[in-house]
Structure 1
Amino acid sequence: MKAVHFGAGKIGRGFIADLLHNTGYEITFVDVNEKLNAEMNQYHNYYLYVIQEDYRRKEIDKVSALSPITQPEEVTQAITDADLVTTAVIADNFPKIANNLAAGLKARLDAGKERVNVIPCENAFYCGVMLKKELLKTGILTEEELDKIAGIPSTAVDRMVFAADRDGRDGIDVGNTFELVIEKEQLVDPDAEPIKDAEYADNLDKYLERKLCVVNGGHTMSAYIARQMGYDIIQDYFMVPENKQLTRDIMLQAGAFIEKKHGFAHEDMVDYIDATIGRWSTPGVKDTVERIAKAPIRKLDPEDRMVKPAVQCEEYGLANDLILKGIAAAFLYDMDGDEQAAQIQAYISENGIEKAVSHYTGIEAGSRIYNEILKYYNEYAAQKTNK
């Protein structure tokens, strides 16, 4: 079996390709990193190191790589011949892969090949819908043609992965637990399971919202708060019991609306949260606040990991004060080199925080949660000034 995977970053190689390899696929990566491509084409393998198993080395073999820039024809042919296509590129980068992917699917259609599953594995709400929109924007395929040649489900993804330079090779440290939930109804064959060890769900909403709002939201808000406290490494923040408890409480607030909306048992939610925080606190793991907090404009979107749970908790009459503090901290995030952080700070300088809150979050000016965010923002700003 052959799989084409867009994105040879940490999630791509350390998570999705690991599952593809376990399923029995030969994997062709499509990535712009020529150095990494050359290494995979030289050795046709790479290594993962399982953190909780004393960094046990695991080989991922039968791999090769193509450049979408210098080898577009080869990418098209690979998609034409593939049994499965997957992505792990960050949903914001869908426009960058859309032309290559659409061209491959069109060639596949013209060649009379069967429909293929195209599974985007991204931390974004209904990433399958997002990818389909970008493919249609290329004009290479009509919606009818796209539906005729591809099944594009959305997913929920979660695994701890870190870059590692071991044994003189570019490897990846990975956690021993993961979650990949695939929207069953959108697969070419809803009864098939194209990726081993994934979970196939009829109701993806509950998993998507749990992952996005509880896990991604808790991690991101912790990073923004940690930045205000002066931390650069998130594990240093978690070493302080009060900080770990704050993150747990933020996640429990987000989890409360998930429980109410989707029927998760509270005990299960608590176990899910504690296991997640335990993973983030694994000894020897080193993850930066900069990585977790990057791209704050996207993360402040009304449908993303912070504002969504804040608004939903408000609608359900549930506590959300700690979530609102996390949102406020995001407006003070000022990491050098983060273009979106710079854009937010420039907007605040020109228009004021009052306009910025509504502009980026969609929260109505004058509402209770709007006023609370402003209050917490000013408290954080005062603390920063007094340092």
Structure 2
Amino acid sequence: MSKKAVHFGAGNIGRGFIGLLEHEAGYEVVFADVSAALIDALNAQPSYRVHEVGESGHDHTVTGYRGINSAEHEDDLVHEIATADVVTTAVGPTILRFVAPVINRGIESRDPSAAPLAVMACENAINATDVLVGEMKKAAGDWQTIASRAVFANTAVDRIVPAQDPNAGLDVAVEPFFEWAVEQPPFGDEVPDLPGATFVPSLAPYIERKLFTVNTGHATAAYAGFAAGHHSIAESLADPAVADLVKRVQAETSTLLSRRHGLDPDDLARYREKILNRFAEPALPDTVERVGRQPLRKLSGPERFIGPAAALAEAGLPVDALVEAVGKALQFDVPEDPQSVELQKLLADLEPGEFVTQVTGLGSDHPLFGALTAVVADRQANL
């Protein structure tokens, strides 16, 4: 019996990570995207290549897929969801609210006797599937019916997919390493057939280990590299000052991970070393501007800097490196990135304390507030 996965987001991550793993698990992959040019290219080309860079990389050929323009052919997409086994997303956390209504329609159209649809949001955010479910509930007319015909599971995803060669077409360059952890309890004993995914009893350690080591470290390298005038992440990490800050930041977040989840410090040290080697891979031409984009989201309360720094400060533990990294983020001034433009406007318009509260959500009574206010004031003095 054939299997089908509907994947929202036919961009580089969708094609080079989740879509690839679904293809290799034997699913027919239906890519849904609002980009007419991208969907037309997918439907015109019977295959594309995923190239793993570096000495340990391999090439993969993806076939047996289709594309649907979700802006123009919603009814067709509803039918595909109604008859799918798996629905996944890689659209960005802020776009989940736009895909929620059509997922609702697809599940409502599902045969009640069919196996529940597995729904997993594969985004760079904590508990993104919960976010998707929240948006689906807002848009739902009959949530009980939808909830009875689907299973929702949070995931943690990790694979570096850098900016691509503009002449590559549908082909995607990625790093060889990947991790797709999915919480098992929502599925019980009936987990989806996805050999590329790891089903785990509790996702929290995986989510935070990835977010506070990979994402925090990557963003630190981007912001410190940008501030130092570097172009790529690899070039930034060749700068001893940038590399030192990234290492100190990751050492602080590892302290939190060890305390919160009982993760072994030696295992975390090896994990950090692996992550730094991934970032420094010269065959991954990732730019500081791409990695650093959307700085306001990355400086928000639960995210990669403030999340761990706030928890460490509440425990009375050092946060000097994380605060220094926040200071580097405040220097991210890229006119092409709307959040960067807004960040610089807020720095120009608000008092330091007002800025901290509005951007991070922390009040003046929080133990991290003073350090953040000082670093904001320092940035404002140099505008």
TM-score interval, smaller chain: over 0.9
Name the amino acid aligned to 1:119: M
Q: Unaligned stretches of 5+ in structure 2?
A: none
- Aligned partners of 1:168, 1:225: CA distance in 2, in Å? 30
- RMSD across aligned positions (CA): 2.0
- Aligned partners of 1:356, 1:341: CA distance in 2, in Å? 14
SS of residue paired to 2:67: strand
Distance 1:114 1:100, change over 3 A: same
Which residue is 2:323 aligned to? 324
- Aligned partners of 2:168, 2:254: CA distance in 1, in Å? 42
Q: Could you tell me the percent identity over the aligned residues?
A: 28
Name the amino acid aligned to 1:26: E
Partners of 2:313 and 2:367 within 8 A in 1: no
- Once the two structures are superposed, the pairs formed by residues 189-338 of structure 1 within 5 Å of their partners are 189-338=188-337
- Aligned partners of 1:354, 1:91: CA distance in 2, in Å? 27
- Aligned partners of 1:254, 1:54: CA distance in 2, in Å? 29
Distance 1:353 1:167, change over 3 A: closer
Distance 1:140 1:46, change over 3 A: farther
- Aligned partners of 1:86, 1:354: CA distance in 2, in Å? 40
- Aligned partners of 1:207, 1:158: CA distance in 2, in Å? 10
1:123 aligns with 2:124: yes
Partners of 1:3 and 1:83 within 8 A in 2: yes
Deviations 1:156-209 (A, max 9, x none): 10001135449863311111111111011123x444243112111111111111
Partners of 2:163 and 2:290 within 8 A in 1: no
Which residue is 1:178 aligned to? 178
Which residue is 2:25 aligned to? 23
Name the amino acid aligned to 1:267: D
Report deviation, 1:318.
2.0
Report deviation, 1:104.
0.9
Distance 1:163 1:246, change over 3 A: closer
- Aligned partners of 1:338, 1:169: CA distance in 2, in Å? 24
Which residue is 2:86 aligned to? 84
Name the amino acid aligned to 1:60: V
Partners of 1:228 and 1:380 within 8 A in 2: no
- Aligned partners of 2:327, 2:242: CA distance in 1, in Å? 17
Partners of 1:182 and 1:201 within 8 A in 2: yes
SS of residue paired to 1:177: coil
- Aligned partners of 1:177, 1:284: CA distance in 2, in Å? 13
Name the amino acid aligned to 1:261: R
Name the amino acid aligned to 1:234: I
Deviations 1:97-139 (A, max 9, x none): 1122111111115x65331101111111111110001111113
Deviations 1:250-293 (A, max 9, x none): 11101111011101111110111110110111122211112111
SS of residue paired to 2:312: helix
Report deviation, 1:303.
1.0
Deviates more, 1:65-74 or 1:94-103: 94-103
1:113 aligns with 2:117: no
Deviates more, 1:275-284 or 1:365-374: 365-374
**Number of corresponding residues:** 381
- Aligned partners of 1:211, 1:184: CA distance in 2, in Å? 18
Q: Which has the higher helix share?
A: 1
Partners of 1:21 and 1:27 within 8 A in 2: yes
- Aligned partners of 2:295, 2:375: CA distance in 1, in Å? 17
- Aligned partners of 2:190, 2:365: CA distance in 1, in Å? 49
Distance 1:168 1:179, change over 3 A: closer
Which residue is 1:72 aligned to? 74
Partners of 1:183 and 1:203 within 8 A in 2: yes
- Aligned partners of 2:141, 2:49: CA distance in 1, in Å? 37
Deviations 1:292-341 (A, max 9, x none): 11112211221111101001111233211110111233233221122222
- Aligned partners of 1:3, 1:127: CA distance in 2, in Å? 18
Deviations 1:233-263 (A, max 9, x none): 2221111233212201111101111011101
Report deviation, 1:229.
1.7
SS of residue paired to 1:66: strand
SS of residue paired to 1:232: coil
- Aligned partners of 1:261, 1:283: CA distance in 2, in Å? 34
SS of residue paired to 1:65: strand
Distance 1:308 1:166, change over 3 A: closer
Report deviation, 1:140.
3.9
Report deviation, 1:58.
1.6
Partners of 2:164 and 2:172 within 8 A in 1: yes
Partners of 1:48 and 1:57 within 8 A in 2: yes
Distance 1:170 1:193, change over 3 A: closer
Partners of 2:330 and 2:379 within 8 A in 1: no
Distance 1:264 1:168, change over 3 A: closer
Distance 1:185 1:55, change over 3 A: closer
Name the amino acid aligned to 2:26: G
1:158 aligns with 2:144: no
> Which of 26, 34, 37 is matched with 1:35 structurally?
37
Return the TM-score normalized by structure 1: 0.93
- Aligned partners of 1:141, 1:229: CA distance in 2, in Å? 53
